[in-house]
Amino acid sequence: MKVLVPVKRVVDYNVKIRVKADGSGVETANVKMSMNPFDEIAVEQAVRLKEAGAAEEVVAVSIGPQQAQETIRTALAMGADRGIHIKHDGEVEPLAVAKLLKAVVEKEGPELVLTGKQAIDDDCNQTGQMLAALLGWAQGTFASKLEIADGGAKVTREVDGGLETIQLKLPAIVSVDLRLNEPRYASLPNIMKAKKKPIDAHEPADFGVDPTPRLKTVKVSEPPPRQGGIKVESVDELVEKLKTEAKVI
């Protein structure tokens, strides 16, 4: 079985995000970038499948600027076998990514695509689902457990109120959640090996996909600063304030 893992380069989760002065987006100049943490979990799972003998090859794919190759290299150092880079400088929206991934899937023929459940920059949580729809494949989202057996995938999903277990036919798309595993550190010998692993370079046009955004960002702004708390005298006053000021009931 071949496993395809899409990986996205995002602002590192430790960075304190700042909004650009003109409100057009967030500041990314001189900001530390890393692999989307959910994608790291997906890479880890793919590598574990390979180590367990359930997968033969793990391919990492990234759509993004030249530096997205760094993200692919990180996946290779964790244990992925080779990389595919589709170079694109501007923003790409989930639908364009899903279309590009569909083309890659058709070319590579994986039986399993492991995606992060969402990217921590735009929090869209759409790519995996769109890809499943475009391919007409089964999908299991928010996986906190994954077993490959009897020609299918058993996925335990985190849903409101508990866990749901579903059985998928392969090929399938599985999007992974936080508790699926704890991604490993890339060890020094694996970092050295990653250097020799190939990364194929492409452009969106190679796949006949136009990644021009369909959405226009009107404005990005900081969340309002947190206000200090207040004390209320009575339950009635509390209910009143929750209604009129906090507007939560």
Is beta strand 112-116 parallel, antiparallel or unpaired with respect to 33-35? unpaired
Closer CB to other proteins, 76 or 153, in the complex: 76
Structure tokens that stand for 184 in this block? 């490993």
Query: Should residue 228 be labelled a site residue for other proteins when binding is judged by CB under 8 A?
Result: no
Structure tokens that stand for 246 in this block? 């906090």
Tokens 């996925």, located at residue:
155
Interface map 24-43 toward other proteins (x if CB under 8 A): ----------x---------
Query: Should residue 70 be labelled a site residue for other proteins when binding is judged by CB under 8 A?
Result: yes
Query: Should residue 195 be labelled a site residue for other proteins when binding is judged by CB under 8 A?
Result: yes
The percent helix, strand, coil of the chain (3-state, each to 5) is 30, 30, 45
Which region, judged by CB under 8 A, interacts with other proteins, from 19-27, 68-76, 87-95, 147-155?
Answer: 68-76
Query: Should residue 21 be labelled a site residue for other proteins when binding is judged by CB under 8 A?
Result: no
**Beta pairing partners, 106:** none
Segment 126 to 165, residues that bind other proteins, using CB under 8 A: none
Q: How far lies 227's CA from each of 217, 223, 246, in Å?
A: 28, 12, 12
Query: Should residue 187 be labelled a site residue for other proteins when binding is judged by CB under 8 A?
Result: yes
Out of 163, 192, 201, 239, the only residue in the binding site for other proteins (CB under 8 A) is: 192
Sites of contact with other proteins (CB under 8 A): 34, 70, 73-74, 77, 185-189, 191-192, 194-195
